[in-house]
Amino acid sequence: MGHAWVFGDNVSTDYIIPGRFNITSDPKELRKYAFNYARPEFVEQVKPGDVVIGGKNFGCGSSREHAAIVLRECGVYLVANSYGWIFRRNCINLGVLPLEMAEKSQIRDGDLVELDMTKLLLKDVITGSIQRLNPVPQFVLDIYRSGGLVEYLNKAKTYSV
């Protein structure tokens, strides 16, 4: 169980971490700037197990992997209607599962939520509303379960398609 951080459509990677902070590769340093302009309280208040909920096209824009790194460092789950193509790959490659839902989220910002990964359900514990999550494609699951793309390739040696 964790708290919901609800965002709208087209949240760009510039919004997740502005470009001028991407001059270091230190994950702990980068984490300080998560949603720096948009929600300055995020970094102080976010806890591992919280769920970041996006609308459509979450993580559009710049290819900076720093955006996926800061979310991994915060220890949050990710659920959105859809993702920017590059950002979605970056998450998978770093072992963060970009979960998707077809319906527009009814979950309220700040509410306590429960994520059931086996039944693929996200529940707002306060209002009782339930979001159904899409099944994750097998190839994506294979990379995720290995712990990321590097770990997948270390095991599989090559892409198995």
Partner 1 sequence: MSTVVEKILTKKGRAQGRLAVVDIDYIMSHDTTTPLAIDAFDKFADHMIHKDKIVIVFDHMVPPSYPDAAFNQRYMKEFCRKYGIRFFEGYGICHTLMLEKGFVKPWGVIVGGDSHTPVYGVAGAVGLGMGSTDIAAAWRTGQTWLEIPESIKIEITGRMPKGVTSKDIALAYVKEITLSGGQEKALEFCGDALKGMDVYEKMPIGIMAAECTAVTEVFQDESNDLIPDKGVSYFDEVSIQVDGLEPLIACPHSPDNVKTVSEVEGRDVNQVFIGSCTNGTIHDLRTAARILKGRKTNPYVRTLVLPATIEIYRQALREGLIDTILESGAMVCTPPGCGPCIGRHQGVLGDYDVCVSTSNRNYQGRMGSPKGEVYISSPATAAATALEGKIADPRRYL
What residues line the site for partner 1 (CB under 8 A)? 9-10, 12, 14-15, 18-20, 22-25, 37-38, 56-57, 60-66, 68-69, 82, 84-87, 89-90, 93-94, 139, 148-151, 153-154, 158-159, 161
Shortest Cβ 44–partner 1 spacing (Å):
18
For 93, the token pair is 């490659």
Q: Which is nearer to partner 1, 2 or 148 (CB)?
A: 148
Separation between Cα atoms, residue 66 and residue 146, nearest integer Å: 21
| Continuous H helices in 11-116 | 13-16, 27-31, 42-45, 66-74, 85-93
Shortest Cβ 23–partner 1 spacing (Å):
4
Shortest Cβ 3–partner 1 spacing (Å):
24
Q: Which is nearer to partner 1, 119 or 155 (CB)?
A: 155
Strand order through the sheet with 51-54: 98-100, 77-80, 51-54, 2-6, 112-116, 121-124, 130-132
